[in-house]
Amino acid sequence: MQTLDDVIARARSLSLPTRCIVDGKETAARDTYDNVSPRDGTLLNKVASGGAAEIDAAVRSARAAFDDRRWRGLAPREKKARMLALAELMEGELQELALMESLDSGKPISDALGVDIPLAIQTVRWYGEAIDKVYGEVGPSNDSKLSLAVHEPLGVIGAITPWNFPLHMAMWKAAPALAMGNSVVLKPAEQTPLTALRVAQLAIEAGIPAGVFNVVTGFGETAGQALARHDDVDMIAFTGSGAVGRKLMSYAGESNLKRVSLELGGKSPQIVFDDCPDLQAAAEAAAWAVFFNQGEVCTAASRLLVHESIRDEFLAKVIAVAATIKVGDPLDPATRFGAMVSEEQLNSTMRFIEAAKKEGGRLVVGGDRVREDSGGYFVEPTIFADVAPSSTLARQEVFGPVLGVMTFEDTADAIRIANDTVYGLAAGLWTANVDRAIGVARALRAGLVWVNGWDSCDITMPFGGFKQSGFGRDRSLHAMDKYADLKAITFTIRGSID
Ligand code: NAP
Ligand code: MG
């Protein structure tokens, strides 16, 4: 078992990447920016701050690689072998990648080691393995025709990703895009550039040709905007906020009408009916569904809807689980709840807590900034009971560890409150009644519904939102369709076999 001192010693000896990867080479940008660790507010390193020039160089290199077919022209088995080689190399650096992720984002090292990096590796492997198993179609034509529907890669994919699961989200975009034969230019979040840069280096080692997977670090307003406005980018695949999602659709409209896929936020409800089969399991899920990753999760179950008859009993159980969650140093292997990603995110969470107090929410757990002496950005797990469905906390995404608890009277009431949101990413429900489970699951307007359990992050199932939670799906084979066009090819058959 590692100790905190062991992990700190390893962190000190890490060599952190600083430069973009463009056309297979490490490339400095004209500027750099300070990459700060939310663990203690100290400078980790200075990272390339890419702008329009660096984005243009990366897009040109991606286009050249696409046009000369150095990647898409490889046999499917060969592409698969190289993606599996990348997964192996990532596996070999699991410890280092996890440390970088924890230092950059403030998440517990145990989560980075046990969740983020393994799931990123699984994603690369899963899409690598899929490459030689995806078929096109033969149409039901008459004897004089042979019609094929074939998948064609789109070309150059711009991926813009957030800081909450930095490498995992980056691989949700890059892996299926690469598997379909595209080239990729990835702009990771400014707060968390390290793992993407390292994996782009490993991709070259794995034999993914130069220019096929480029990473340009920098700010959204500069690098991100330049990528999304570029006339030679065929698609932007985005995970992040609705505000930026709206801008991306405008940039696409104002430039070359590139496709856009958006994975945005949520205000996901978790509904606990009075016949919940396991109140203790539901209480664990209610707490961890909003406190995992410090609440910085797009599917966070930030609205807990409890049947009024079990409100007090259930709330007591949730509070007891929350009391076991200690805020700690992200590098301590025992920590399960770490730092917020940035001072900005900390302040924004504190503003939501203040608003909830003013609007009559009853604070039952947490509510304060803690560990301030560390220089890092820590907020306690926080629960408000008696939250009005019309209040800020019930309507706006916090993206921090704040749970709002509400009650409902009957099934129709639960569905109405759950769907009373502009979002539609995830939802959960707990009941022993199969008919109710099926009926409610179908009635909830959300892209993901979990019954009697919360998220298991299953790569085999599509992930994405309804309504203002976005459109387009990550994960599963459906994600591959997004990075391809369908081409219909029809042969007219002149000969006869007679
Ligand atoms: P964000 O501000 O939307 O940033 C996401 C990415 O977009 C970052 O790389 C950012 O660059 C970039 N960006 C910002 N402005 C841009 C612009 N004008 N043009 C192009 N790119 C731009 O979101 P965030 O703060 O990183 O993440 C939190 C949000 O993401 C939350 O609202 C959450 O709900 C959402 N989220 C959704 C999902 C999902 O799957 N549905 C998953 C995770 C997060 P910078 O690094 O410079 O800001
Ligand atoms: Mg950082």
Residue 7, H or E segment:
helix 4-13
The closest-lying atom of ligand 1 relative to the alpha carbon of residue 164 is: 43
Ligand 1 pocket check for 247: Cβ under 6 Å:
yes
The closest-lying atom of ligand 1 relative to the alpha carbon of residue 160 is: 9
Chain segment 398-434, per-residue pLDDT in tens: 999 999 999 999 999 999 999 999 999 999 999 999 9
Q: What average pLDDT does this structure show over 435-455?
A: 97
Nearest to 389 by CA among 370, 416, 371: 416
| Position 229, amino acid | R
| Position 4, amino acid | L
Query: If you measure from the C-alpha of residue 242 to the centroid of ligand 2, how many angstroms do you get, rounded to a whole number?
Result: 22
Q: Does 3.30.420.480 match the CATH number of domain 4-264? A: no
Q: What average pLDDT does this structure show over 267-276?
A: 98
Chain segment 254-270, per-residue pLDDT in tens: 999 999 999 999 999 99
166 Cβ neighbours under 8 A, 6+ residues apart = 101, 104, 105, 116, 188, 189, 192, 194, 195, 196
**pLDDT of 496 strictly over 80:** no
Catalytic residues: 263, 298
Mutation choice for ligand 1 from 244, 254, 261, 345, CB with most ligand atoms inside 8 A: 244
> According to CATH, where is 3.40.605.10 located in the chain?
4-264
Ligand 1 pocket check for 187: Cβ under 6 Å:
yes
Determine contact, residues 105/376, Cβ cutoff 8 Å.
no
Number of CB atoms found within 10 A of residue 26's CB: 15
CATH number (3.40.1670.10, 3.40.309.10, 3.40.640.10, 3.40.50.2300) of 269-458 reads: 3.40.309.10
Ligand 1 pocket check for 162: Cβ under 6 Å:
yes
**pLDDT of 34 strictly over 90:** yes
Ligand 1 pocket check for 189: Cβ under 6 Å:
yes
Higher per-residue pLDDT: 456 or 235:
235
Mean residue pLDDT across the chain: 97
The closest-lying atom of ligand 1 relative to the alpha carbon of residue 218 is: 47
Q: What average pLDDT does this structure show over 268-293?
A: 98
Ligand 1 pocket check for 190: Cβ under 6 Å:
yes
Q: What is the predicted pLDDT for the residue at 283?
A: 98
Question: Residue 90: what are its φ and ψ, rounded to 5°?
Answer: -65, -40
Q: What is the predicted pLDDT for the residue at 2?
A: 87
Token representation of residue 160: 């813009």
Q: What average pLDDT does this structure show over 73-87?
A: 98
Q: What is the predicted pLDDT for the residue at 497?
A: 66
Ligand 1 pocket check for 399: Cβ under 6 Å:
yes
The closest-lying atom of ligand 1 relative to the alpha carbon of residue 228 is: 20
Q: What is the predicted pLDDT for the residue at 498?
A: 63
Q: What is the predicted pLDDT for the residue at 259?
A: 98
Rounded to whole angstroms, the Cα distance separating 382 from 388 reads: 16
Query: If you measure from the C-alpha of residue 342 to the centroid of ligand 2, how many angstroms do you get, rounded to a whole number?
Result: 8
